[in-house]
Amino acid sequence: MSSIINDTKLAAKLIENGELVAFPTETVYGLGADAFNAEAVAQIFATKERPTFNPLIVHIREVSELEKLFVEIDDALLKLAEHFWPGPLTIVAKKQKSVPDIVSAGLDTVAVRMPANQTARELLKLSGKCIAAPSANRFGMLSPTTPEHVQKQLPGLKCILNGELPKVGIESTVIELCQGEFKILRPGFITEQDLLKVLPQSKTTEANSPIKSPGLLKSHYSPRKPMYLLGKAPEYSTDKKTGFLAFSEVQEPEKYHLIERLSSNGDLSEAAANFFEALHRLEDSDVDLIIAEPVPETGIGIAIMDRLKKAVYQYSDK
Ligand code: TXA
Ligand code: MG
Protein backbone atom coordinates (compact mmCIF):
# COMPACT_ATOMS: atom_id res chain seq x y z
CA MET A 1 0.00 0.00 0.00
CA SER A 2 1.26 3.48 -0.80
CA SER A 3 1.94 5.86 2.06
CA ILE A 4 0.37 9.27 2.46
CA ILE A 5 3.00 11.63 3.88
CA ASN A 6 3.07 15.25 5.06
CA ASP A 7 6.83 15.70 4.60
CA THR A 8 7.32 17.87 1.50
CA LYS A 9 11.13 17.76 2.00
CA LEU A 10 11.15 13.99 1.72
CA ALA A 11 8.86 14.16 -1.35
CA ALA A 12 11.26 16.67 -2.95
CA LYS A 13 14.20 14.31 -2.28
CA LEU A 14 12.30 11.51 -4.04
CA ILE A 15 11.72 13.76 -7.08
CA GLU A 16 15.44 14.67 -7.10
CA ASN A 17 16.30 10.96 -6.99
CA GLY A 18 14.17 10.20 -10.06
CA GLU A 19 11.21 8.70 -8.19
CA LEU A 20 7.50 9.43 -8.48
CA VAL A 21 5.42 11.50 -6.07
CA ALA A 22 1.68 12.17 -6.21
CA PHE A 23 1.03 15.75 -5.10
CA PRO A 24 -1.91 18.16 -4.88
CA THR A 25 -2.40 21.06 -7.27
CA GLU A 26 -5.25 23.59 -7.22
CA THR A 27 -7.08 21.52 -9.86
CA VAL A 28 -6.60 17.78 -9.14
CA TYR A 29 -3.82 15.52 -7.81
CA GLY A 30 -0.84 15.05 -10.16
CA LEU A 31 1.61 12.16 -10.50
CA GLY A 32 4.98 13.88 -10.74
CA ALA A 33 8.55 13.18 -11.78
CA ASP A 34 11.59 15.28 -12.73
CA ALA A 35 10.66 16.47 -16.25
CA PHE A 36 14.26 16.31 -17.46
CA ASN A 37 14.77 12.70 -16.30
CA ALA A 38 13.35 10.56 -19.12
CA GLU A 39 13.56 7.32 -17.11
CA ALA A 40 11.62 8.84 -14.23
CA VAL A 41 8.99 10.15 -16.67
CA ALA A 42 8.70 6.68 -18.24
CA GLN A 43 7.65 5.43 -14.79
CA ILE A 44 4.67 7.82 -14.87
CA PHE A 45 3.36 6.17 -18.03
CA ALA A 46 3.94 2.67 -16.61
CA THR A 47 2.27 3.47 -13.27
CA LYS A 48 -0.82 5.06 -14.86
CA GLU A 49 -0.94 2.52 -17.70
CA ARG A 50 -1.12 5.60 -19.91
CA PRO A 51 -0.44 5.24 -23.65
CA THR A 52 2.82 6.97 -24.57
CA PHE A 53 1.12 8.98 -27.36
CA ASN A 54 -0.49 11.13 -24.66
CA PRO A 55 1.87 14.00 -23.67
CA LEU A 56 2.34 15.38 -20.14
CA ILE A 57 2.14 18.83 -18.56
CA VAL A 58 5.34 20.28 -17.09
CA HIS A 59 4.82 22.22 -13.83
CA ILE A 60 7.07 25.19 -13.03
CA ARG A 61 7.47 27.59 -10.12
CA GLU A 62 8.73 30.73 -11.84
CA VAL A 63 8.35 32.37 -15.24
CA SER A 64 12.17 32.36 -15.62
CA GLU A 65 12.01 28.55 -15.97
CA LEU A 66 10.14 28.93 -19.28
CA GLU A 67 13.47 29.42 -21.06
CA LYS A 68 14.36 25.80 -20.37
CA LEU A 69 11.12 24.62 -21.97
CA PHE A 70 9.95 26.94 -24.77
CA VAL A 71 11.92 28.07 -27.83
CA GLU A 72 10.23 31.45 -27.93
CA ILE A 73 8.89 33.63 -25.14
CA ASP A 74 6.77 36.31 -26.77
CA ASP A 75 4.50 39.07 -25.46
CA ALA A 76 1.34 36.98 -25.68
CA LEU A 77 2.90 34.27 -23.52
CA LEU A 78 4.13 36.77 -20.94
CA LYS A 79 0.71 38.47 -20.82
CA LEU A 80 -1.03 35.16 -20.21
CA ALA A 81 1.54 34.22 -17.56
CA GLU A 82 1.09 37.54 -15.81
CA HIS A 83 -2.72 37.28 -15.74
CA PHE A 84 -3.31 33.63 -15.07
CA TRP A 85 -0.22 32.21 -13.32
CA PRO A 86 0.05 30.78 -10.83
CA GLY A 87 -3.28 29.19 -11.77
CA PRO A 88 -5.18 26.56 -13.78
CA LEU A 89 -3.99 27.48 -17.30
CA THR A 90 -1.72 25.18 -19.34
CA ILE A 91 0.07 26.65 -22.34
CA VAL A 92 1.30 24.49 -25.24
CA ALA A 93 4.05 25.97 -27.45
CA LYS A 94 7.18 24.93 -29.42
CA LYS A 95 9.57 23.07 -27.14
CA GLN A 96 13.31 23.23 -26.56
CA LYS A 97 15.16 20.18 -27.89
CA SER A 98 16.44 19.42 -24.40
CA VAL A 99 12.91 18.57 -23.18
CA PRO A 100 12.80 14.76 -23.32
CA ASP A 101 10.62 13.42 -26.14
CA ILE A 102 8.78 11.13 -23.76
CA VAL A 103 7.35 14.21 -21.97
CA SER A 104 5.83 15.59 -25.17
CA ALA A 105 5.03 12.18 -26.70
CA GLY A 106 7.32 12.97 -29.61
CA LEU A 107 5.55 16.24 -30.53
CA ASP A 108 7.58 19.38 -31.16
CA THR A 109 5.51 21.24 -28.55
CA VAL A 110 5.34 20.99 -24.77
CA ALA A 111 2.57 21.84 -22.28
CA VAL A 112 3.52 24.00 -19.28
CA ARG A 113 1.71 25.42 -16.28
CA MET A 114 2.49 27.11 -12.96
CA PRO A 115 0.24 25.66 -10.24
CA ALA A 116 -1.15 27.90 -7.50
CA ASN A 117 -1.39 25.23 -4.78
CA GLN A 118 0.98 25.96 -1.85
CA THR A 119 2.05 22.33 -1.42
CA ALA A 120 2.83 22.01 -5.14
CA ARG A 121 4.80 25.26 -5.03
CA GLU A 122 6.77 24.07 -2.00
CA LEU A 123 7.56 20.77 -3.75
CA LEU A 124 8.76 22.64 -6.85
CA LYS A 125 10.90 24.94 -4.71
CA LEU A 126 12.49 22.27 -2.52
CA SER A 127 13.22 19.88 -5.40
CA GLY A 128 14.48 22.66 -7.68
CA LYS A 129 13.05 20.67 -10.62
CA CYS A 130 10.45 21.21 -13.32
CA ILE A 131 7.90 18.47 -12.57
CA ALA A 132 6.11 16.60 -15.35
CA ALA A 133 2.73 15.42 -14.08
CA PRO A 134 -0.52 14.11 -15.52
CA SER A 135 -3.52 13.68 -13.25
CA ALA A 136 -2.76 10.89 -10.75
CA ASN A 137 -5.48 8.48 -11.89
CA ARG A 138 -5.25 5.17 -13.70
CA PHE A 139 -5.62 5.93 -17.42
CA GLY A 140 -9.22 6.73 -18.41
CA MET A 141 -10.57 6.69 -14.86
CA LEU A 142 -11.80 9.46 -12.54
CA SER A 143 -9.33 12.22 -11.70
CA PRO A 144 -8.31 12.28 -8.01
CA THR A 145 -8.86 15.25 -5.69
CA THR A 146 -7.77 13.63 -2.40
CA PRO A 147 -4.80 11.45 -1.34
CA GLU A 148 -7.26 8.59 -0.77
CA HIS A 149 -8.52 8.79 -4.37
CA VAL A 150 -4.92 8.33 -5.54
CA GLN A 151 -4.39 5.42 -3.15
CA LYS A 152 -7.54 3.70 -4.46
CA GLN A 153 -6.35 3.81 -8.08
CA LEU A 154 -2.57 3.51 -7.68
CA PRO A 155 -2.07 1.29 -4.61
CA GLY A 156 1.48 0.38 -5.65
CA LEU A 157 2.69 3.99 -5.65
CA LYS A 158 5.30 4.69 -2.95
CA CYS A 159 4.53 8.27 -2.00
CA ILE A 160 1.41 10.43 -1.94
CA LEU A 161 1.98 13.92 -0.57
CA ASN A 162 -0.73 15.34 1.67
CA GLY A 163 -1.16 19.10 1.95
CA GLU A 164 -3.39 21.88 0.67
CA LEU A 165 -6.24 20.13 -1.14
CA PRO A 166 -7.36 20.97 -4.71
CA LYS A 167 -9.97 23.77 -4.83
CA VAL A 168 -10.91 24.05 -8.52
CA GLY A 169 -11.79 20.36 -8.76
CA ILE A 170 -11.35 19.80 -12.51
CA GLU A 171 -8.21 19.89 -14.64
CA SER A 172 -6.63 23.04 -16.06
CA THR A 173 -7.68 24.75 -19.27
CA VAL A 174 -5.19 23.68 -21.99
CA ILE A 175 -4.47 26.12 -24.83
CA GLU A 176 -2.12 26.03 -27.75
CA LEU A 177 -0.34 29.33 -28.33
CA CYS A 178 0.96 30.10 -31.80
CA GLN A 179 1.99 33.51 -33.14
CA GLY A 180 0.07 35.33 -30.43
CA GLU A 181 -3.18 33.42 -30.98
CA PHE A 182 -4.65 30.73 -28.80
CA LYS A 183 -6.80 27.69 -29.38
CA ILE A 184 -8.52 25.87 -26.53
CA LEU A 185 -7.53 22.21 -26.55
CA ARG A 186 -9.28 21.30 -23.28
CA PRO A 187 -11.86 23.51 -21.52
CA GLY A 188 -11.33 24.28 -17.82
CA PHE A 189 -11.88 26.88 -15.10
CA ILE A 190 -10.34 29.65 -17.23
CA THR A 191 -12.79 30.26 -20.07
CA GLU A 192 -12.48 31.55 -23.62
CA GLN A 193 -13.98 34.88 -22.46
CA ASP A 194 -11.31 35.18 -19.75
CA LEU A 195 -8.57 34.52 -22.32
CA LEU A 196 -10.01 36.94 -24.87
CA LYS A 197 -9.86 39.72 -22.28
CA VAL A 198 -6.07 39.30 -22.22
CA LEU A 199 -5.53 38.46 -25.90
CA PRO A 200 -8.42 40.30 -27.62
CA GLN A 201 -6.78 40.00 -31.05
CA SER A 202 -6.86 36.22 -30.99
CA LYS A 203 -9.16 34.47 -33.48
CA THR A 204 -10.44 31.44 -31.67
CA THR A 205 -12.70 29.97 -34.33
CA GLU A 206 -11.45 26.51 -35.05
CA ALA A 207 -14.12 25.37 -37.48
CA ASN A 208 -11.61 24.37 -40.14
CA SER A 209 -8.76 23.16 -38.01
CA PRO A 210 -9.16 19.76 -36.45
CA ILE A 211 -7.57 20.11 -33.03
CA LYS A 212 -4.53 18.00 -32.47
CA SER A 213 -4.21 17.10 -28.84
CA PRO A 214 -3.49 13.42 -28.63
CA GLY A 215 -4.87 13.18 -25.11
CA LEU A 216 -8.32 14.33 -26.14
CA LEU A 217 -10.05 10.98 -26.32
CA LYS A 218 -13.80 10.63 -26.56
CA SER A 219 -13.98 8.33 -23.58
CA HIS A 220 -12.26 9.42 -20.36
CA TYR A 221 -12.86 10.25 -16.70
CA SER A 222 -15.10 7.19 -16.30
CA PRO A 223 -16.29 5.69 -13.04
CA ARG A 224 -16.16 1.90 -12.74
CA LYS A 225 -19.97 1.79 -13.01
CA PRO A 226 -22.25 2.33 -16.00
CA MET A 227 -23.06 6.02 -16.27
CA TYR A 228 -25.62 7.86 -18.41
CA LEU A 229 -26.85 11.40 -18.94
CA LEU A 230 -30.37 12.05 -17.62
CA GLY A 231 -32.85 11.15 -20.35
CA LYS A 232 -30.38 8.76 -22.04
CA ALA A 233 -30.43 6.02 -19.38
CA PRO A 234 -32.09 2.61 -19.80
CA GLU A 235 -35.67 2.51 -18.55
CA TYR A 236 -35.98 2.98 -14.79
CA SER A 237 -36.22 -0.26 -12.86
CA THR A 238 -36.59 -0.94 -9.15
CA ASP A 239 -34.26 -3.97 -9.49
CA LYS A 240 -31.28 -1.68 -9.88
CA LYS A 241 -29.93 0.79 -7.39
CA THR A 242 -29.53 4.10 -9.15
CA GLY A 243 -27.14 6.88 -8.11
CA PHE A 244 -27.88 10.42 -9.21
CA LEU A 245 -25.35 13.19 -9.86
CA ALA A 246 -27.61 16.23 -9.61
CA PHE A 247 -27.13 19.90 -10.36
CA SER A 248 -30.62 21.31 -9.77
CA GLU A 249 -33.36 20.30 -7.34
CA VAL A 250 -34.10 16.60 -7.74
CA GLN A 251 -37.48 15.54 -9.11
CA GLU A 252 -38.78 12.23 -7.71
CA PRO A 253 -35.88 11.72 -5.26
CA GLU A 254 -37.47 8.42 -4.12
CA LYS A 255 -36.28 6.86 -7.41
CA TYR A 256 -32.65 7.16 -6.37
CA HIS A 257 -30.65 5.09 -3.91
CA LEU A 258 -27.98 7.79 -3.50
CA ILE A 259 -28.08 11.43 -4.58
CA GLU A 260 -25.01 13.66 -4.90
CA ARG A 261 -25.99 17.30 -5.40
CA LEU A 262 -23.13 19.32 -6.94
CA SER A 263 -24.33 22.72 -5.72
CA SER A 264 -27.30 23.77 -3.59
CA ASN A 265 -27.78 27.06 -5.45
CA GLY A 266 -26.77 26.43 -9.07
CA ASP A 267 -23.19 27.67 -8.64
CA LEU A 268 -21.07 26.15 -11.46
CA SER A 269 -17.71 26.77 -9.72
CA GLU A 270 -18.99 24.92 -6.65
CA ALA A 271 -20.23 22.14 -8.96
CA ALA A 272 -16.76 21.83 -10.53
CA ALA A 273 -15.11 21.72 -7.10
CA ASN A 274 -17.41 18.87 -6.03
CA PHE A 275 -17.53 17.04 -9.38
CA PHE A 276 -14.87 14.30 -9.04
CA GLU A 277 -15.42 13.93 -5.25
CA ALA A 278 -19.09 13.20 -5.88
CA LEU A 279 -18.30 10.74 -8.67
CA HIS A 280 -15.75 8.93 -6.49
CA ARG A 281 -18.41 8.58 -3.74
CA LEU A 282 -20.92 7.19 -6.27
CA GLU A 283 -18.27 4.82 -7.63
CA ASP A 284 -17.43 3.59 -4.09
CA SER A 285 -21.11 3.16 -3.09
CA ASP A 286 -23.34 0.14 -3.75
CA VAL A 287 -25.28 1.74 -6.63
CA ASP A 288 -25.49 -0.31 -9.85
CA LEU A 289 -25.57 2.64 -12.22
CA ILE A 290 -25.13 6.40 -12.20
CA ILE A 291 -27.33 8.98 -13.90
CA ALA A 292 -25.97 12.51 -14.31
CA GLU A 293 -27.94 15.68 -14.88
CA PRO A 294 -26.42 17.93 -17.57
CA VAL A 295 -25.29 21.37 -16.35
CA PRO A 296 -25.70 24.67 -18.26
CA GLU A 297 -22.92 25.00 -20.87
CA THR A 298 -21.74 28.45 -19.90
CA GLY A 299 -18.49 29.51 -18.20
CA ILE A 300 -16.98 26.60 -16.29
CA GLY A 301 -20.13 24.60 -17.14
CA ILE A 302 -18.50 23.97 -20.55
CA ALA A 303 -15.61 22.18 -18.81
CA ILE A 304 -17.96 20.18 -16.56
CA MET A 305 -20.04 19.04 -19.57
CA ASP A 306 -16.82 18.09 -21.41
CA ARG A 307 -15.93 15.74 -18.50
CA LEU A 308 -19.53 14.43 -18.23
CA LYS A 309 -19.81 13.61 -21.95
CA LYS A 310 -16.51 11.72 -21.83
CA ALA A 311 -17.52 9.88 -18.65
CA VAL A 312 -20.72 8.52 -20.25
CA TYR A 313 -19.29 7.98 -23.76
CA GLN A 314 -18.70 4.24 -23.51
CA TYR A 315 -22.33 3.68 -22.41
CA SER A 316 -24.02 6.10 -24.83
CA ASP A 317 -25.50 5.57 -28.33
CA LYS A 318 -22.75 6.87 -30.55
O1 TXA B 1 -4.93 20.45 -14.02
C2 TXA B 1 -4.22 19.76 -14.71
O3 TXA B 1 -3.92 20.07 -15.88
C4 TXA B 1 -3.65 18.47 -14.09
C5 TXA B 1 -2.71 18.85 -12.94
C6 TXA B 1 -2.04 17.64 -12.33
O7 TXA B 1 -1.78 19.77 -13.41
N8 TXA B 1 -2.97 17.69 -15.08
C9 TXA B 1 -3.61 17.03 -16.09
O10 TXA B 1 -2.78 16.32 -16.90
O11 TXA B 1 -4.81 17.08 -16.25
P12 TXA B 1 -3.31 15.22 -17.94
O13 TXA B 1 -2.09 14.52 -18.40
O14 TXA B 1 -4.35 14.40 -17.33
O15 TXA B 1 -3.86 16.06 -19.14
C16 TXA B 1 -2.97 16.78 -19.96
C17 TXA B 1 -3.66 17.21 -21.22
C18 TXA B 1 -3.94 16.04 -22.13
O19 TXA B 1 -5.22 16.19 -22.70
C20 TXA B 1 -2.83 16.15 -23.16
O21 TXA B 1 -3.17 15.60 -24.39
C22 TXA B 1 -2.67 17.66 -23.26
O23 TXA B 1 -2.81 18.11 -21.93
N24 TXA B 1 -1.32 17.98 -23.75
C25 TXA B 1 -0.14 17.86 -23.10
N26 TXA B 1 0.89 18.20 -23.91
C27 TXA B 1 0.37 18.56 -25.08
C28 TXA B 1 0.93 19.02 -26.33
N29 TXA B 1 2.24 19.15 -26.50
N30 TXA B 1 0.07 19.28 -27.34
C31 TXA B 1 -1.25 19.15 -27.17
N32 TXA B 1 -1.84 18.71 -26.03
C33 TXA B 1 -1.05 18.43 -24.99
MG1 MG C 1 -5.93 13.24 -16.85
Q: Give 78-109 pLDDT, tens digit per residue.
A: 999 999 999 999 999 999 999 999 999 999 99
Ligand 1 pocket test target in 23, 57, 70 with most atoms within 8 Å of CB? 57
Contact 56 CB / ligand 1 (< 6 Å): yes
In this predicted structure, the answer to whether residue 149 has a pLDDT above a threshold of 90 is yes
> For residue 267, is pLDDT > 80?
yes
> Cβ(55) to ligand 1 under 6 A?
yes
Position 166 pLDDT exceeds 70: yes
Helix residue spans in 49-190 (DSSP H): 75-84, 101-104, 118-127, 147-153
Indicate which residue's Cα is closest to atom 17 of ligand 1. Answer: 215
The annotated binding site for L-threonine is made up of 27, 113, 133, 172
Nearest ligand 1 atom to alpha carbon 110: 29
Mutate to test the pocket of ligand 1, among 99, 109, 171, 209 (most ligand atoms within 8 A of CB): 171
Residue 237 pLDDT class (50, 70, 90 cuts): confident
* Residue 92 Cβ contacting ligand 1 at under 6 Å: yes
Helix, strand, coil shares, percent, the chain, to 5: 30, 20, 50
Residue 302 and residue 296: Cα distance in Å, rounded? 8
More confident residue, 237 or 267: 267
Q: What's the rounded mean pLDDT across residues 196-217? A: 67
**Residues 157 and 29 sit within 8 Å (Cβ to Cβ):** no
Do residues 300 and 191 touch, judged by C-beta distance below 8 A? yes
Give yes or no for residue 316 having a pLDDT over 60: yes
- Measured in Å, residue 141 CA sits from the centre of ligand 2 at 8
Q: What's the CA angle centered on 268, arms 266 and 271, to 5 degrees? A: 90
* Cα–Cα dist 31/159, whole Å: 10
Whether pLDDT at 208 is above 50: no
Q: For the chain, what is the mean pLDDT?
A: 94
134, 44 contact by CB (below 8 A): yes
Average pLDDT score over residue span 240-245: 96
pTM of the model: 0.94
Ligand 1 close to Cβ of residue 174 (< 6 A): yes
Q: How far is the CA of 252 from the centre of ligand 2 (A)?
A: 34
Q: What is the pLDDT of residue 211?
A: 47
DSSP 8-state code for residue 98: T
* Residue 199, pLDDT score: 95
- Mean pLDDT calculated for residue range 41-58: 95
What's the pLDDT score for residue 206? 53
CATH code for the part of the protein at 3-204: 3.90.870.10
**Could you tell me if the CB of 243 is within 6 A of ligand 1?**
no
Answer whether 226's CB lies under 8 Å from 240's CB.
Answer: no
Is pLDDT above 60 for 210?
no
Reported as a single tens digit per residue, the pLDDT across 110-121 is 999 999 999 999
pLDDT at 292: 97
pLDDT at 35 over 90: yes
Mean pLDDT of 37-44: 98
Neighbours of 217 (CB within 10 A): 14
Question: Is residue 219 very low, low, confident or very high in pLDDT (cuts 50, 70, 90)?
Answer: confident
What's the confidence (pLDDT) of residue 214?
62
In this prediction, residues 202-227 reach a mean pLDDT of 70
Q: Which atom of ligand 1 is nearest to the CA of 170?
A: 1
Region(s) of the chain under CATH 3.90.870.10:
3-204
Is the confidence at residue 256, as pLDDT, over 80?
yes
Residue 207: predicted pLDDT = 41
Which of 31, 90, 165 gets mutated to test ligand 1 (max ligand atoms within 8 A of its CB)?
A: 90
* Residue among 144, 4, 169, 176 nearest 76 (CA): 176
Q: Which of 226, 286, 284, 280 has the alpha carbon at shortest distance from 256?
A: 286
Residue 264, pLDDT above cutoff 60: yes
pLDDT reading at 235 higher than 80: yes
Q: What is the mean pLDDT of residues 243-251?
A: 96
Q: Is the pLDDT of residue 204 over 80?
A: no
Q: How confident is the model at residue 263 (pLDDT cuts 50, 70, 90)?
A: very high
* Ligand that lies nearest to the alpha carbon of residue 120, given by its number in the listed order: 1
- For residue 134, report the distance from its CA to the centre of ligand 2, in Å: 6
Confidence of residue 212 (pLDDT cuts 50, 70, 90): low
DSSP state of 96: P
Q: Domain 227-313, what fold?
A: Rossmann fold (3.40.50)
Give the other-Cβ count within 10 Å of 96's Cβ.
13
Confirm if 118 and 163 have CB atoms less than 8 A apart.
yes
Mean pLDDT, residues 195-205 taken together: 82
Distance 236 CA to ligand 2 centre (A): 32
